[in-house]
Chain A
Amino acid sequence: MNLDSLNINALKETARRIRVQDLKTVFGAGAGHIGGEMSAIDILTTLYFHVLRVYPDAPDHPERDRFVLSKGHTACALYVTLAEKGFIDPAELETFLAPHSRLNGHPNCTKVPGVETNTGPLGHGLPVAVGMAKAAQLDGASWRTYVLTGDGELQEGSNWEAAMAAAQFGLDNLTVIVDHNRLQQGARLAETNNLAPLADKFEAFGWTVREVDGHDIAALADVLDSSGIESGKPSCVIAHTNKGQGISFMQDRVEWHHKVPSREQFEQALAELEGAA
C-alpha cells in the first residue's frame, strides 16, 4: 500500500503523541527505559498504524498478525502504543510500574491484551517468533509475524539459533526489525561486542536484508510493506535509529538507557516534542 503524504503526516503525528505520552509515563513512574523507547517508537507506530492486522476488540483473533517486542525493557512504549491503538485504556498508563499494575517493566501476555509472549530477558523474542511463523506456515495461514529486537541483544546466541532455523524452514512470513541504535546499556556496541557487519551476518544466515532510516516513517512503511516478497526467505529490516530520538539532550547518549529525567529535563523534553507538532 502506498502512503500518501497525508497518511504519512498522520503517522508522524501519532508517533509524536506516543513519544509525549511515553515521556510523561516514564517521568510519572520515576523509572523506565526512555532512550530505547524513543529509538523504537517510529517503528512501533509504523507497525501498529500501518502494517499489522490486529484487532483491539478481539486481541486473540486467530488470524491476527503477531508482533513480539523482544526488547521487552521498552515495554512502556508498547503500552502507550497499545493504548493509542485501543487495546488498553489510556488512563491505565498512569499505573505503569505501580503495585499490582499489569503494566510492569516488561510486557506480560497473560495480563495485557495485544501482548503475545513475555519478554524481558534478551534473546527470547526471535525464537518464539520463529515458532509463530512456523505455525502459520503449517496451516497455510496468511498472518505474518514481526519481531522487534534491540541491536545489543543480538549478542545473545539464541537469536542466531533462531536465525538459522528461520532460513532452514523458509519462513518468508517472518520479519525481524533490528532497532539499531548502536548503544547498549553500558556502552556503545562498537566498544563492547560489535555486531558489524550486521547486514552481512543476516545475509550469511540466509535472510533477505533491507536497511532503512528507522525514523523515516515513509521509508519504514515502504520497506515493511515489501518485506517478505522474497519467496522462501525470512526478512530482516535493519532500522538505523538513535537512542533518545526526538529529545536533544538524550539523543545518542548511553546514559539515557534507563535514566529518568529531572523535572527541568522533563519540561525541556516535553517542550521539544510538543514543539515538533
Chain B
Amino acid sequence: MDSGRALHDCRDAFVETLEALAAENRDIVAVCNDSVGSSKLGRFRDRWPERLVNVGIAEQNMVGVGAGLANGGKIPFVCAASPFLTGRALEQIKADVAYSEKNVKLCGISSGMAYGELGATHHSIEDFAWMRVLPNIATIAPADRIETAAAVRFATTHQGAVFLRLSRVGVPDILPEDHSFELGKANLLRDGVDVTLIANGVLSHRTLAAADLLAAQGIDARVLNMASVRPIDREAIVAAARDSGAILTCEEHSIHGGLGSAVAEVVVESCPVPMKILGVPGIFAPTGSANFLLDEFGMAPDGIAEAAKTLVARKG
C-alpha cells in the first residue's frame, strides 16, 4: 500500500502552521500537559517560551486554563494526547469551553489508535462521539498534511471552539497543495455512481486505494473525504445516497457514535439507502500498531473493497 509515496506525520504540518500563525499573531498561545515532545511544541517553546503554557500532567486544569486564556483575549491551542484531553477533561470541555462558548482550540494529538501497542487506555476511539455530542465544537479530522495545515489556519480565524483530531501515523498527500478547508464541507476525492465511500483522518487514503481495487473489478465508487464530523455535510451525504444508492463509512474510531453514526443520522432521516459502518467494532482493541489494527478490523484497502462489494449487492 502506498509504495513509493512519501508518508507524512501530520503533527509536523500542525506545528509548522501554528508557528507561522503565531509569528504573526501574539495572541496565539499553546497549552499542554507536559506533552511538549509528543505535541512537537519544542520549537514553539524555544521561540516563545512565555507563550507555551505547560500546566504539567493535569488535563482538567489544562482545559480550564485554556478557557480562561480565551476569556483574556488569547487564542489557546490546547494540545495533549487525545484520549487524555477528551476523556479526562470531558466535563471541562463541556462546561468551560462548549457551554461557555470560549474560543479554545482543542488539539487531540496521536488520536485514534496511533498509540496502538500501548493498549486501549491510550487509544482515542471515542473522541468523535464525545466531541460531536456537545454543541458549539467544530469537530475536524484532517486526512493529510495539507488538510492539517488548512484546518489549523481555519481554527485560528474561526470564532469558537474547535476539536482538531490529529494523528502521528504517516499518511500520503491526497489533497491538492492549494486546498483550503471549509467547515462542514466534504471533499470529493473521486466520483462514482455504484457506491460512496466516506472517510476521514488516516482512513481517507486507504479508502481511495480501496476505490482503485473496486474500479479494477468494475465497481465505480465515489470517495468523499469528510474531515468535518460536526457540522457534517448533509448535502454531500444526500447527494451520495441519491447518486450511488449505498454508503460505506470508514473511521479510526468506534463504530458507535463517530463518523458513521453522524452519516447514518442524515441517511435515515433524509435518504434511506443501505449503509455499512467500518471502524472498531465496539471492543477494546488488542495489541498492535495502528496500521495493523486498522487492517485487523477490515480497513485495509482490500477489506474496505470487500465490504463495499457486499454493500453493493444489498442495493435493490
Contacts and interface: CB of A to CB of B under 8 A. Distances in A.
A272 B23 CA distance: 61
A132 B58 contact: no
Contacts of A119: 95
Nearest to A119: B95
Nearest to A117: B100
Interface in A101-140: 108-110, 116-121, 123-124, 126-136, 138-139
Query: Closest 6 interchain pairs by CB?
Result: A131-B68, A135-B72, A127-B64, A161-B61, A161-B58, A131-B65
Contacts of A116: 71
Nearest to B29: A138
B69 A121 contact: no
Contact of B65 (A109, A123, A130, A136): A130
Interface string A186-228: 0000000000000000000000000000000000000000000
Interface stretch (B47-55, B116-124, B207-215, B297-305): B47-55
Given A109-B100, A118-B96, A161-B55, A127 B60 contact: yes
Nearest to B33: A161
Given A138-B72, A158-B92, 17 more contacts: A110-B101, A117-B71, A123-B60, A124-B92, A127-B65, A128-B68, A130-B65, A131-B65, A131-B69, A131-B71, A132-B69, A135-B73, A158-B61, A158-B64, A165-B56, A168-B56, A169-B53
A53 to B, nearest CB: 15
A54 to B, nearest CB: 14
A128 B72 contact: no
B19 to A, nearest CB: 17
Interface in B66-110: 66-74, 76, 91-92, 95-96, 99-102
* SS of A interface (majority): helix
B65 A128 contact: yes
B152 interface: no
B164 interface: no
B60 A135 contact: no
B60 A131 contact: no
A250 to B, nearest CB: 29
A164 interface: yes
A121 B91 contact: yes
Contacts of A168: 56
Given A62-B73, A164-B56, A117 B61 contact: no
A67 B51 CA distance: 24
A157 interface: yes
A162 B96 contact: no
Interface of A: 62, 66, 108-110, 116-121, 123-124, 126-136, 138-139, 141, 145, 157-158, 161-162, 164-165, 168-169
A109 B106 CA distance: 20
A128 B101 contact: no
B95 to A, nearest CB: 6
B71 A132 contact: yes
Contacts of B50: 138
B63 interface: yes
Contacts of A121: 91, 95
Contacts of B70: 131
A165 B64 CA distance: 12
A145 to B, nearest CB: 8
Contacts of B74: 135, 138
B140 to A, nearest CB: 23
A110 B103 CA distance: 12
Given A117-B71, A124-B96, A165 B58 contact: yes
A124 B61 CA distance: 8
Contact of B69 (A118, A135, A157): A135
Contacts of B100: 109-110, 117-118
B95 A134 contact: no
Given A131-B66, A158-B64, A136 B72 contact: yes
A165 B62 CA distance: 9
A128 B71 contact: yes
Contacts of B61: 127, 130, 158, 161-162, 165
B58 A131 contact: no
A132 B102 CA distance: 12
Given A118-B95, A120-B95, A135 B68 contact: yes
A26 B50 CA distance: 46
Contacts of B71: 66, 116-117, 128, 131-132, 135
A6 B254 CA distance: 66
A157 B68 CA distance: 18
A162 B31 CA distance: 14
Contacts of B56: 161, 164-165, 168
A140 to B, nearest CB: 11
Contacts of B58: 161, 164-165
A173 B315 CA distance: 65
A129 B67 CA distance: 9
A99 B204 CA distance: 46
B110 to A, nearest CB: 22
B91 A132 contact: no
A123 B71 CA distance: 18
Contacts of A161: 55-56, 58, 60-61
B55 A165 contact: yes
Contacts of B102: 117
Contacts of A158: 60-61, 64, 92
